[in-house]
């Protein structure tokens, strides 16, 4: 075997430049593909992460039908024991209770529609760093009787800390909720959707205003590693499927994939688009490799003829030519992977900040203006398999050529 390897290796360097050009084309494709995959995956992870942190959690427990109807009627009672049990599941890093509803907020002659979110201030802060977003006033305490307004919302309402605003809304069982609430803090978000529409209360206060004592709308569960999502989801489901004695409530457990199918599909579409583009690039590269292999074959007709005449088995020649194609391609893959590895590692640790017009557009689409990257072994393997496939397919040409070769004629060629 060693002989064939060194034979193939030497054959490659009979025409150095040609081999290098073909290898360079593979290198170029691999480098580009790796960077692109890294950027796409990085962005997906980032989108998922920010969506689960702010909105849903990786897994969410809520009252049956709450997700569909989003009304306080589908809110639930959840005792601390249950929450503790969820927290004890392996891989769960944190749980966050929320009490979410829509209400009208009014100050003097201005009324705005806002999302009113009852939170447990400490655990919310741990998850979304809400406290760091405070620009004025003070943060909520466990049972504060005040409201935090998003900065844009406060500006639209022309209100400031110290003022009292009116919350109008529909409470539990359709009871009208109306309450005068002091503004105790202003928080600033990057995303306009949040900055113009979010407000926070402490959970007990929200429950009191909306006449829903002891009820929350959701329990968001954060987990350490997305790989364990399904496994943990099963465990949480088991926990909540057991009938409980003291509450007749039915629960529903969903993962972020079920909670935000839009996000999942948007990612799928973008991902498919990226893969198609890389596919086209590799197609072009494959033609190049094929062309090179073809030339290497064509100029060696006489050599093949002699080798076969002196008794070399065709099957061994097949091996040599196939090894040649694999070598050409793998010089490219190896160098491509080696060079891109430090670049990608650097980018993973230092996401590219975006500025200017593009940054504004990205903010307007609801994301933060950074370009994050990700790294995972699979993306290297994907390139290796693709290139191997190209090499093996191109390798069929010399095999077929040699199979048909008549040594007598070839030697004279």
Partner 1 sequence: MLFSLAWRNIWRNKRRSLIIISAIAAGLLCGLFASAIMFGMGESLVTSTINRDLGHIQIHSSQFEDEKLLTDTIPNPQKIVEEIKEEKNIKGITSRIVIEGMGSSATTSNGLRIVGINPEQEKSVTNIYEQIVEGNYFENARRNQIIVGKKLAENLGIKERSKIVLSFQGFDGSIIYGAFRVTGIYQTESTAFDRVNVFVREKDLLSLLGSQMISHEIAIRMNSEQSADTLYSVLKSEFPTLSVKSWKDLAPELKLMDEMIDTQLNIFLGIILFALLFGITNTMLMSVMERVREFGVLMAIGMKRRRVFSMIMIETISLSLVGAAIGMVCASILIAYFGSTGIDLSTFAQGFTAWNLSPVLQPRLPGTFYVSITIMIIVIAILSAVYPAIKAIKLKPANAIRTY
Q: Interface with partner 1 by CB under 8 A: which residues?
A: 15, 17-18, 21-22, 24-25, 28-29, 32, 68-73, 101-104, 106, 108-115, 156, 168-170, 174, 197, 261-269, 273, 276-277, 279-281, 283-285, 287-288, 290-292, 294-295, 298-299, 357-358, 360-361, 364-365
Identify which of residues 361 and 408 has a Cβ nearer to partner 1 in the complex: 361
Look-up of token digits 């006489």: 302
Identify which of residues 162 and 356 has a Cβ nearer to partner 1 in the complex: 356
**Minimum gap (Å) between residue 311 Cβ and partner 1:** 28
How much helix, strand and coil, in percent to the nearest 5, is found in the chain? 60, 20, 20
Pairing state between β 76-77 and 215-216: antiparallel
Identify which of residues 311 and 356 has a Cβ nearer to partner 1 in the complex: 356
**Minimum gap (Å) between residue 101 Cβ and partner 1:** 8
Identify which of residues 126 and 155 has a Cβ nearer to partner 1 in the complex: 155
How far is 178 from 96, CA to CA, in rounded Å? 26
Which residues neighbour 408 within 8 Å (Cβ) at sequence distance 6 or greater?
A: 305, 309
How far is 141 from 145, CA to CA, in rounded Å? 9
Identify which of residues 15 and 128 has a Cβ nearer to partner 1 in the complex: 15
Q: 403-411 — which CB contacts under 8 Å span 24+ positions?
A: 403/314, 405/301, 405/304, 405/305, 405/308, 405/314, 407/305, 407/306, 407/308, 407/309, 408/305, 408/309, 409/305, 410/301, 410/302, 410/304, 410/305, 410/308, 411/302, 411/305, 411/306, 411/309
**Minimum gap (Å) between residue 28 Cβ and partner 1:** 7
Identify which of residues 25 and 195 has a Cβ nearer to partner 1 in the complex: 25
**Minimum gap (Å) between residue 100 Cβ and partner 1:** 12
Identify which of residues 174 and 353 has a Cβ nearer to partner 1 in the complex: 174
Which residues neighbour 406 within 8 Å (Cβ) at sequence distance 6 or greater?
A: none
**Minimum gap (Å) between residue 239 Cβ and partner 1:** 27
Identify which of residues 265 and 315 has a Cβ nearer to partner 1 in the complex: 265
* Closest by CA position to 192, among listed 354, 54, 368, 364: 364
How many secondary structure helices (H) and strands (E) does the chain include? 16, 14
**Minimum gap (Å) between residue 228 Cβ and partner 1:** 25
**Minimum gap (Å) between residue 246 Cβ and partner 1:** 25
* Closest by CA position to 167, among listed 229, 87, 107: 107
Pairing state between β 218-223 and 59-63: antiparallel
Identify the burial level of 32 via C-beta atoms within 10 angstroms of its C-beta, where 0-12 means exposed, 13-18 middle and 19 or more buried.
middle
**Minimum gap (Å) between residue 200 Cβ and partner 1:** 16
Identify which of residues 26 and 323 has a Cβ nearer to partner 1 in the complex: 26
Identify which of residues 239 and 371 has a Cβ nearer to partner 1 in the complex: 371
How far is 271 from 268, CA to CA, in rounded Å? 5
**Minimum gap (Å) between residue 71 Cβ and partner 1:** 3
Alpha carbon separation from 116 to 73, 233, 256 (Å, rounded): 16, 28, 21
* Closest by CA position to 104, among listed 32, 24, 199: 199
**Minimum gap (Å) between residue 407 Cβ and partner 1:** 22
Identify which of residues 7 and 178 has a Cβ nearer to partner 1 in the complex: 178
**Minimum gap (Å) between residue 145 Cβ and partner 1:** 23
Residues 243, 245, 250: CA angle, nearest 5 degrees: 45
């Amino acid at each position: 075997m060693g002989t064939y390897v060194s034979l193939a290796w030497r054959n490659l360097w009979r025409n150095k430049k040609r081999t290098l050009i073909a290898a360079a084309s593979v290198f170029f494709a691999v480098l580009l593909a790796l960077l692109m995959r890294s950027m796409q995956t990085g962005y997906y992870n980032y989108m998922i992460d920010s969506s689960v942190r702010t909105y849903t959690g990786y897994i969410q427990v809520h009252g049956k039908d709450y997700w569909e109807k989003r009304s306080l009627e589908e809110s639930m009672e959840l005792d601390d024991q249950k929450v503790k049990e969820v927290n004890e599941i392996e891989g769960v890093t944190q749980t966050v209770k929320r009490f979410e509803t829509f209400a009208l907020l009014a100050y003097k002659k201005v009324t705005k529609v806002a999302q009113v979110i009852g939170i447990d201030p400490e655990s919310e802060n741990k998850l979304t760093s809400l406290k760091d977003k405070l620009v004025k006033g003070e943060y909520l305490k466990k049972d504060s009787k005040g409201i935090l307004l998003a900065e844009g919302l406060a500006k639209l309402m022309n209100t400031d800390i110290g003022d009292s605003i009116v919350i109008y809304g529909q409470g539990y069982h359709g009871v009208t909720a109306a309450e005068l609430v002091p503004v105790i803090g202003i928080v600033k978000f990057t995303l306009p959707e949040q900055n113009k529409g979010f407000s926070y209360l402490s959970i007990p206060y929200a429950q009191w205003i909306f006449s829903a004592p002891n009820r929350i709308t959701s329990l968001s569960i954060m987990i350490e590693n997305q790989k364990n999502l399904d496994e943990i989801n099963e465990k949480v489901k088991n926990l909540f499927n057991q009938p409980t004695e003291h509450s007749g409530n039915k629960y529903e457990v969903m993962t972020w994939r079920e909670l935000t199918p839009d996000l999942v599909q948007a990612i799928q579409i973008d991902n498919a688009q990226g893969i198609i583009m890389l596919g086209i690039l590799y197609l072009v590269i494959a033609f190049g490799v094929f062309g090179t292999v073809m030339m290497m074959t064509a100029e060696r007709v006489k050599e093949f003829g002699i080798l076969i005449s002196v008794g070399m088995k065709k099957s061994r020649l097949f091996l040599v030519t196939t090894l040649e194609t694999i070598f050409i391609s793998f010089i490219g893959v190896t160098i491509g992977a080696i060079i891109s590895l430090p670049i990608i590692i650097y980018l993973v640790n230092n996401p590219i900040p975006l500025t200017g017009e593009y940054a504004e557009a990205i903010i307007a689409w609801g994301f933060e203006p950074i370009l994050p990257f990700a790294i995972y072994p699979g993306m290297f393997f994907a390139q290796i398999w693709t290139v191997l496939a190209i090499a093996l397919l191109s390798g069929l040409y010399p095999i077929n050529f040699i199979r048909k070769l008549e040594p007598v004629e070839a030697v004279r060629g």
